[in-house]
Amino acid sequence: GAGVSQSPRYKVAKRGQDVALRCDPISGHVSLFWYQQALGQGPEFLTYFQNEAQLDKSGLPSDRFFAERPEGSVSTLKIQRTQQEDSAVYLCASSLFGLLKSYEQYFGPGTRLTVT
């Protein structure tokens, strides 16, 4: 079946602009995750949904970052008033929900955001 898809694949924004990044998870996957990956680093957790509920947003770096998943499938990560330090690859992943056992997360190709 289809994997996780993300759009756009590349986004260039001028400093101060708002951006919206979209993620389509694997069909039937309950959990959806957003990560930020800087060049040469491992992904860093931003936020996590189980269905439409945002269970953990401890990794969001500031109140300029906002994520939603209103119907429990597609998710949008919004960044307001972008800054140069927001330049990174934004990865989305989906999985079966964990409870006592962790299930593998499947990642999309990412959106590369460049803020000029």
Partner 1 sequence: EDQVTQSPEALRLQEGESSSLNCSYTVSGLRGLFWYRQDPGKGPEFLFTLYSAGEEKEKERLKATLTKKESFLHITAPKPEDSATYLCAVTYDLNTDKLIFGTGTRLQVFP
The only residue of 19, 33, 67, 115 in contact with partner 1, by rule CB under 8 A: 33
Map 33-57 to HEC letters: EEEEECCCCCCEEEEEEECCEEEEC
Q: Burial of 4 by CB count in 10 Å (0-12 exposed, 13-18 middle, 19+ buried)?
A: buried
What's the token pair of residue 78? 């919004």
Q: How far is Cα 31 from Cα 27, in angstroms, rounded to an integer?
A: 11
Nearer residue to partner 1 within complex by CB, 21 or 93? 93
Q: Which is nearer to partner 1, 3 or 16 (CB)?
A: 3
**Binding residues for partner 1 restricted to 48-107, rule: CB under 8 A:** 48, 55-56, 58-59, 91, 93, 95, 97-98, 100-107
Does 8 participate in binding partner 1 (rule CB under 8 A)? no
Contact residues for partner 1, defined by CB under 8 A? 4, 31, 33, 35, 40-45, 48, 55-56, 58-59, 91, 93, 95, 97-98, 100-110
